[in-house]
Amino acid sequence: MSLRILISSSTALLAILVIALSYQASASPPTKPASTEAVAGICSAAEIMHGYKCQEYDVTTADGYILSLQRFPQGKNGGGGMNKQPVLLQHGVLVDGMTWLLNSADQSLALILADNGYDVWIANTRGTRFSRRHVSLDPSNPDFWDWTWDELVAHDLPAAIDFVFKQTGQKIHYVGHSMGTLIALTSFSEGKQVDKVKSAALLSPIAYLSHMTTALGILAARAFVGEVRLLCMHSYLFAILMNIHILNRSIEPVANFLKVLCLDPKVNCFDLITALTGKNCCLNTSTVELFLKNEPQSTSTKNMVHLAQTFRNGRLAKYDYGSANFNTQHYGDSEPPVYNLANIPRDLPLFLSYGGQDSLSDVKDVENLLDNLKLHDVDKINIQYIKDFAHADFIMGTTSKDIVYNQIMAFFKRHT
Ligand SMILES: *[C@@H]1O[C@H](CO)[C@@H](O)[C@H](O)[C@H]1NC(C)=O
Ligand SMILES: *[C@@H]1O[C@H](CO)[C@@H](O)[C@H](O)[C@H]1NC(C)=O
């Protein structure tokens, strides 16, 4: 059975996959988080580094998470030099910083920036394999996973930005993809980080999710709030689901499950990515294989619930604890506070690029976001619409350098 058939015959499959992915986080941390690969970090992945100089840093957040950061201080042909402009790359949900490095060197944004004289930094959010550490909590402790993207806004983003700011003594250019745009936009809307950020390029921007079109997204969003009974369509899934139901902490990591699924020659993993992200125009088969070797990454169930709330409510607010009482305990108000994107400083240079085929960052939702930015200074906002692009093209597309990355660098030059 090809995956395509599996999807159409059972639309719940992918919802289950995503649910399983997020449960991996809370239910099944690997018993040995410190594999040699994990200790060595992203820089040691020779197959990806293409011979570039790469440095590893650890940054501790105010709430104790130890995050891994990578730096590419120079281009392929060296060229150190002082006062290079720092750029921080922030990945999206269910992936990590590795996704910026999966294409060949002349197609990967991080390395293109390094070759063009930028001092490039890559962030990895809490819970992903190289940032699955905490000063006191073990990942096997459910408290380790008690966070949503609110905490990425409150802690991870400031930790990474402060660190780069201090190391380089300069304001940074920011590049976010997907959830990496959400946490930047909401942070800026609270007036945070704007004093340390020179400009922000936002790829597949996500703020509103009401029009998310993937069956996957819709089903997952519903399932997370208990509206869809999980159906078991497949024996692998059945086993995993049963484990999820009882929150059995010893289930195999689901990333492995996905790998097993993809090893099956009858399963088309391109279809899987399509189902997740939309009809990408320009992915390279070798890159997708590398992607599936390295991703997906864990996130917390609570984070997926929070994203599902955004989808359901059509408004951008902090995590909803589900009752007036609990919300009052956390926020001093019966409703979670709303992030008002119209409060983003109007003179903060923004570059937004979105795709016509993107099923996670739907065109209508992006238009809703742009409506919030309609009073932004006209010379401080650039908007790019790419008809053929879907979610993954922005990171891994073979044509992205010409279509998007060159525009980003021109935008940075205008706002140095
Ligand atoms: C696809 O990726 C491989 C490995 O990086 C590379 O050799 C090849 O040129 C790429 N193809 C295209 C069309 O970019
Ligand atoms: C979890 O599942 C494993 C087998 O998959 C089983 O050996 C173990 O007893 C289960 N643990 C609990 C708490 O049910």
Which pTM was predicted?
A: 0.81
Say how many Å lie between the CA of residue 202 and the centre of ligand 2: 43
Residue by residue, pLDDT tens for the chain (416 residues) are 333 333 333 333 344 444 444 443 333 333 333 333 444 689 987 667 788 999 999 999 999 999 999 999 999 887 767 789 999 999 998 789 999 999 999 999 999 999 999 999 999 999 888 999 999 998 888 788 888 999 999 999 999 999 999 999 999 999 999 999 999 999 999 999 999 999 999 999 998 877 765 545 555 555 444 332 232 222 233 333 333 332 333 333 344 445 555 565 655 666 667 766 788 999 998 888 888 777 777 777 778 778 777 766 778 999 998 889 999 999 999 999 999 999 999 999 999 999 999 888 889 889 999 999 999 999 999 999 999 999 999 999 999 999 999 999 999 999 98
The Å distance, Cα 350 to ligand 2 centre, comes to 50
Q: Which of 250, 251, 252 has the most ligand 2 atoms within 8 A of CB, as the residue to mutate?
A: 250
Residue nearest to atom 5 of ligand 1 (CA): 104
Q: What b/e string do you get for 233-255 counting C-beta neighbours within 10 Å, with b at 16 or more? A: beeebeebbebbeeeeeebebbb
List Cα–Cα distances, 170 to 60, 301, 336, 346, 374, in angstroms: 20, 36, 35, 21, 29
Please state the atom number of ligand 1 nearest to the C-alpha of residue 284. 1
Domains in the chain: how many in total? 1
b/e sequence 368-391, b meaning 16+ C-beta within 10 Å: bbbebbeebeeebbbebebeebbb
Dist CA 119 CA 77 (whole Å)? 14
Q: Which tokens belong to 118?
A: 């930028």
Check which CATH number belongs to the domain holding 133 and give it. 3.40.50.1820
Q: Which atom of ligand 2 is nearest to the CA of 249?
A: 1
Distance 250 CA to ligand 2 centre (A): 6
Q: Which ligand is nearest to the CA of 242?
A: 2
Question: Which ligand gives the minimal distance to the CA of 102?
Answer: 1
Catalytic residues: 178, 358, 391
Give the number of the atom of ligand 1 that is nearest the alpha carbon of residue 285.
1
* CA 103 – ligand 1 centroid, Å: 7
**Residue with CA closest to ligand 2 atom 11:** 248
On whether the CB atoms of residues 103 and 398 are closer than 8 A, the answer is yes
Nearest CA to ligand 2 atom 7: 250
Q: Whose CA is nearest to atom 3 of ligand 1?
A: 286
Ligand nearest to C-alpha 244: 2
CB neighbour burial string for 146-161, b if at least 16 within 10 angstroms, e if fewer: ebbbbbbbbbbbbbbb
pLDDT for the residue 295:
75
Residue 237 near residue 258, CB atoms below 8 Å: no
Beta bridge partners of 200: 174, 350
Q: Which residues line ligand 1 at a C-beta cut-off of 6 Å? A: 104, 284, 286-287, 398
pLDDT of residue 265: 61
- The ligand 1 atom nearest the CA atom of 287: 2
Q: List residues near ligand 2 (CB under 6 A).
A: 246, 248, 250
Ligand 2, residues 245, 246, 248: which to mutate, most atoms within 8 A of Cβ? Answer: 248
> According to the model, what pLDDT value does residue 239 have?
33
Atom number of ligand 1 nearest to Cα 398: 14
Exposure string (b/e) for 296-317, b if CB count within 10 Å is 16 or more? Answer: bbbbbbbbbbbbbbbbbeeebb
Structural domain including 30 reads 1-416
Q: Minimum-distance ligand to the CA of 245?
A: 2
Question: What is the whole-number distance in angstroms between the Cα of residue 270 and the centre of ligand 1?
Answer: 16
| Model pLDDT, residue 290 | 84
d(CA 404, CA 254): 33
Centre of ligand 2 from the C-alpha of residue 33, in Å: 20
C-alpha 23 – ligand 1 centre gap (Å): 34
